[in-house]
Copies of this chain bind each other. A is one copy, B any other.
Amino acid sequence: MTTEHRSPCPISSFLDLWGDRWTLIIIRDMLVGKRRFSDLEAGNEHVPPSILADRMKKLIALGVAERVQYQDKPPRYEYHLTAKGTALRPVLIAMGDWSEEHLPDRWHTPDWFRAGRHAPGRD
Contacts and interface: CB of A to CB of B under 8 A. Distances in A.
A88 B98 contact: yes
Contacts of A8: 105-107
Contacts of A5: 103
Interface of A: 5-16, 19-22, 24-25, 28, 44-46, 84, 87-88, 90-103, 105-109
A19 to B, nearest CB: 4
Contacts of A93: 94
A107 B45 contact: no
A19 B21 contact: yes
A9 B95 contact: no
A101 B24 CA distance: 18
Given A87-B102, A91-B94, A24 B45 contact: no
Contacts of A106: 8-10, 13
A108 B84 CA distance: 18
A95 B16 CA distance: 11
Nearest to A93: B94
A94 B90 CA distance: 6
Contact of A95 (B11, B84, B108, B109): B11
